[in-house]
């Protein structure tokens, strides 16, 4: 005779999850997804709205481009630090602090009357995002056990994250033509306040920080500085030229800072990036694939937005709405990827996704100067949406595969860092290709380069990522 006990099913063999626990886990997933989507959305929301900001603030394009650059610099530069802070200080404390900084900075950006104030606010938004993203990913990693349930959770997370990143272009175009660009930032204020309240109620209290634990501040400072200068050097090169005397000097400074980081980490008792993580083949391959994949993703959106407005004569609102096809297919593909990753594995899902992106970019590399939306743009936008949708959950699962619970924060920060830096590198690289050409031929060459980036990402996924789930 089997005696049923609390926490088992009617056969006494499997634990039964308490409804309150199930609800809490769903709320954690919703919180992590919404917070990260807000960060991703704000990375893209200003691209289509820049001309409106330029008119209202009376700033030159050279100044206003820092509205985009400042956000990416601070977000990418501080993600590793945010990941390690998550592990040392606590997930709840870090995500609440990040949401508070992001929300306050969004309000400051919305009321800015000078370009310089807007740029500073965008930088603080990026710093807040650098705290939010690794804390959110770490929350998922410790809330959902490795296996099918984590795959489902990361599928939802990846879909919402990708939706936020691509939907930002749509929202930016519609707001610029309607309520105005300031609402691209004001909209974050009530959302951020709600997320802070949810985090305070739903998340379990963190353990007391270990006062004796050492935080690798020297490593954090050197790697953040190196990444900041690296990304700045890439943007500097697109403005002043790759052969200007200041360009190699900036790259030399970046290389020196990153070399200093390696030296510090080798001697640190509590390194920012544990050496064991770099011995995990799947983690390394997933991060390299994330770098190349997001080079292609951000560059594809950047080039597509410019092509529609500068060559095809689209308004900001029309350009924004045109991206809905990518947004919708990306969301559906990411949800399908949750099911597929359990059957074909991380490697094959990344490989197939990036091949689709490469094909979509090659399609864009042959469209005419009078391209139609349905016959020329839409097929490529659909291919890119499916491809990037497949990549989202697979990248996050690969980047956390085999990582100890104590290091999930820094592992999450690492993959997000490679994504953000990859996006910045991608935009800088394709801008150089675009400027070297002229008219539609320049766009053809730039989209061809995007296809090359996606193909290289497919190779790294095929060679290095784990085969199974």
At 269-288, the pLDDT tens digits run: 767 676 666 777 777 888 88
Nearest to 419 by CA among 322, 312, 300, 291: 291
Please answer whether residues 463 and 456 qualify as being in contact, where contact means their C-beta atoms are separated by less than 8 angstroms.
no
More confident residue, 99 or 221: 99
Coil, helix or strand at residue 151: helix
Residue 438 pLDDT exceeds 80: no
| Residues ≥6 apart with Cβ < 8 Å to 25 | 143, 144
Please answer whether residues 364 and 304 qualify as being in contact, where contact means their C-beta atoms are separated by less than 8 angstroms.
yes
Mean pLDDT, range 435-439, rounded to an integer: 73
Coil, helix or strand at residue 273: coil
Measure the CA–CA gap between 80 and 119, rounded to whole angstroms: 22
Residue 228 pLDDT exceeds 70: yes
Nearest to 311 by CA among 232, 386, 369: 369
Please answer whether residues 140 and 110 qualify as being in contact, where contact means their C-beta atoms are separated by less than 8 angstroms.
no
355 pLDDT tier (thresholds 50, 70, 90): very high
- Tens digits of residue pLDDT in 121-139: 998 998 999 899 888 888 8
Q: What is the pLDDT of residue 49?
A: 73
User: Which backbone phi and psi does 337 adopt, to 5 degrees?
Assistant: -60, -30
Nearest to 112 by CA among 13, 197, 186: 186
253 pLDDT tier (thresholds 50, 70, 90): very high
Residue 222 pLDDT exceeds 70: yes
- The DSSP 8-state label assigned to residue 277 in this structure reads H
Residue 16 pLDDT exceeds 70: no
- Tens digits of residue pLDDT in 389-417: 888 777 777 777 666 666 666 677 677 77
Q: What is the pLDDT of residue 196?
A: 94
CB count within 10 Å of CB 54 equals 18
More confident residue, 202 or 400: 202
Question: Which neighbouring-strand residues pair with 15?
Answer: 8
**Residue 315 burial (C-beta neighbours within 10 Å; 0-12, 13-18, 19+):** middle
Measure the CA–CA gap between 82 and 220, rounded to whole angstroms: 9
Average pLDDT, the chain: 79
What does the angle CA 174 – CA 176 – CA 180 come to, to the nearest 5 degrees? Answer: 115
Nearest to 452 by CA among 311, 235, 307, 295: 295
Please answer whether residues 222 and 264 qualify as being in contact, where contact means their C-beta atoms are separated by less than 8 angstroms.
yes
| Residue 22, CA atoms < 13 Å, CB-side half-sphere | 5
> Residues for the chain: how many in total?
469
- The DSSP 8-state label assigned to residue 63 in this structure reads H
**Residue 296 burial (C-beta neighbours within 10 Å; 0-12, 13-18, 19+):** buried
Measure the CA–CA gap between 224 and 74, rounded to whole angstroms: 9
Question: Which neighbouring-strand residues pair with 8?
Answer: 15
Please answer whether residues 175 and 61 qualify as being in contact, where contact means their C-beta atoms are separated by less than 8 angstroms.
no
More confident residue, 321 or 1: 321
User: Which backbone phi and psi does 15 adopt, to 5 degrees?
Assistant: -65, 145
CB count within 10 Å of CB 225 equals 18
Which string of b and e fits 108-141 if b means at least 16 CB within 10 Å?
bbbebeebeebbbbbbbbbbbbbbbbbbbbbbbb
User: Measured on CA atoms in the order 135, 165, 457, 423, is the torsion positive or negative?
Assistant: negative
Measure the CA–CA gap between 63 and 119, rounded to whole angstroms: 9
Measure the CA–CA gap between 156 and 338, rounded to whole angstroms: 8
Please answer whether residues 410 and 216 qualify as being in contact, where contact means their C-beta atoms are separated by less than 8 angstroms.
no
What does the angle CA 209 – CA 210 – CA 216 come to, to the nearest 5 degrees? Answer: 100
Please answer whether residues 376 and 368 qualify as being in contact, where contact means their C-beta atoms are separated by less than 8 angstroms.
yes
Mean pLDDT, range 97-109, rounded to an integer: 94
- The DSSP 8-state label assigned to residue 65 in this structure reads T
Nearest to 437 by CA among 365, 378, 384: 365
Mean pLDDT lowest among 47-61, 275-289, 360-374:
47-61
Please answer whether residues 112 and 121 qualify as being in contact, where contact means their C-beta atoms are separated by less than 8 angstroms.
yes
Q: What is the pLDDT of residue 124?
A: 93
Record the pTM: 0.74
- The DSSP 8-state label assigned to residue 15 in this structure reads B
């Amino acid at each position: 005779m089997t005696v049923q006990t609390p926490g088992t099913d009617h056969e006494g063999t499997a634990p039964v999850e308490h409804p309150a626990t199930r609800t809490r886990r769903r709320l954690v997933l919703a919180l992590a997804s919404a917070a990260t989507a807000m960060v991703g959305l704000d990375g893209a929301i200003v691209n289509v709205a820049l001309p409106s900001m330029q008119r209202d603030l009376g700033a030159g394009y050279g100044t206003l481009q820092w509205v985009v650059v400042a956000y990416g610099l601070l977000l990418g530069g501080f993600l590793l630090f945010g990941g390690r802070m998550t592990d040392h200080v606590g997930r709840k404390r870090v995500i609440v602090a990040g949401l508070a900084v992001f929300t306050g900075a969004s309000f400051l950006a919305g009321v800015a009357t000078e370009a310089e104030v807007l740029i500073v606010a965008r930088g603080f938004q990026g710093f807040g995002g650098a705290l939010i993203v690794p804390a959110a990913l770490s929350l998922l990693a410790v809330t959902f056990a490795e296996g099918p349930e984590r795959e489902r959770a990361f599928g939802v997370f990846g879909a919402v994250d990708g939706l936020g990143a691509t939907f930002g272009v749509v929202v930016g175009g519609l707001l610029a033509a309607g309520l105005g660009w300031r609402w691209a930032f004001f909209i974050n204020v009530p959302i951020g306040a709600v997320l802070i309240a949810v985090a305070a109620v739903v998340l379990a209290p963190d353990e007391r920080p270990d006062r004796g634990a050492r935080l690798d501040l020297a490593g954090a400072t050197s790697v953040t500085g190196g990444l900041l200068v690296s990304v700045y050097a890439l943007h500097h090169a697109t403005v002043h030229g790759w052969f200007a005397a200041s360009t190699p000097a900036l790259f030399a400074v970046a290389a020196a800072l990153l070399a200093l980081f390696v030296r510090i980490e080798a001697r640190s008792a509590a390194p920012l990036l544990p050496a064991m993580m770099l011995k995990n083949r799947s983690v390394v391959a997933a991060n390299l694939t994330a770098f190349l994949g997001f080079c292609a993703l951000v560059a594809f959106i950047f080039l597509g937005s410019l092509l529609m407005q500068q060559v095809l004569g689209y308004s900001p609102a029309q350009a924004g709405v045109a991206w809905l096809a990518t947004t919708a297919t990306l969301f559906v593909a990411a949800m399908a990827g949750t099911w597929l990753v359990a059957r074909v594995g991380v490697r094959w899902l990344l490989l197939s996704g990036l091949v689709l992106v490469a094909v979509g970019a090659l399609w864009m590399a042959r469209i005419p100067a009078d391209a139609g939306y349905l016959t020329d743009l839409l097929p490529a936008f659909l291919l890119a949406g499916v491809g990037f949708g497949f990549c989202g959950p697979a990248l996050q699962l690969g980047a956390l595969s085999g990582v100890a619970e104590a290091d999930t924060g820094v592992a999450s920060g690492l993959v997000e860092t490679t994504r953000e830096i990859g996006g910045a590198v991608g935009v800088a690289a394709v801008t150089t290709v675009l400027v070297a050409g002229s008219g539609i031929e320049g766009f053809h060459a730039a989209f061809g380069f995007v296809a090359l980036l996606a193909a290289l990402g497919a190779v790294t996924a095929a060679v290095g990522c784990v085969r199974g789930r």
